[in-house]
Amino acid sequence: MTTTSRPDLDFARRELLDLCRDRDWARSRARAADADVVAMRRVAIELERTIEPLRTALQPIAGLHTTPTWEGQAATASRTRLARLDEKRTSAVSSIDHLIAELRTTASRRETTADAHWGDYATYSRQVHGLEDMLGIAPFDQIR
């Protein structure tokens, strides 16, 4: 018995396979992006929770160098050291705050990327279902 092949159906089947691969790729990228967003937000929350005790612990040295309670050269040297410590404290807290803000910004951007991948997934799914209907076959996911 000779099997005849219809080029249009063969093309449609190949197209269906390609679309299913593209759809699976979009789904995996979207899931990965969603996982990245969750991880980044979790790190930002943990950093915020961790920095609060540090802020509280370092608060007593804030502004000590401006308090005129000491006199003489030793007092001036102490105030200079305290001023440097206060600058380092401010810089450390500012750096961590900046890192937290950057994590949140990156998470938002990554969330936009995830949304785009989910949109691609939906588009590919509609195309796959359209080809399945055209070919008159069961959903491809069920026969794989």
Please report, for the chain, the start and end positions of each structural domain, with discontinuous segments joined by +: 8-143
How far is 77 from 126, CA to CA, in rounded Å?
Answer: 73
Q: Residues 40-77: pLDDT tens digits?
A: 999 999 988 988 887 777 777 666 555 565 566 666 77
Q: Which pLDDT score is estimated for 1?
A: 43
What's the distance, Cα to Cα, between the start and end of the chain in Å? 27
Q: Which pLDDT score is estimated for 2?
A: 47
Query: Does the pTM exceed 0.75?
Result: no
| Angle (nearest 5°) at CA 22 between 20 and 26 | 115
pLDDT greater than 50 at residue 98: yes
pLDDT greater than 90 at residue 80: no
Q: Which pLDDT score is estimated for 13?
A: 83
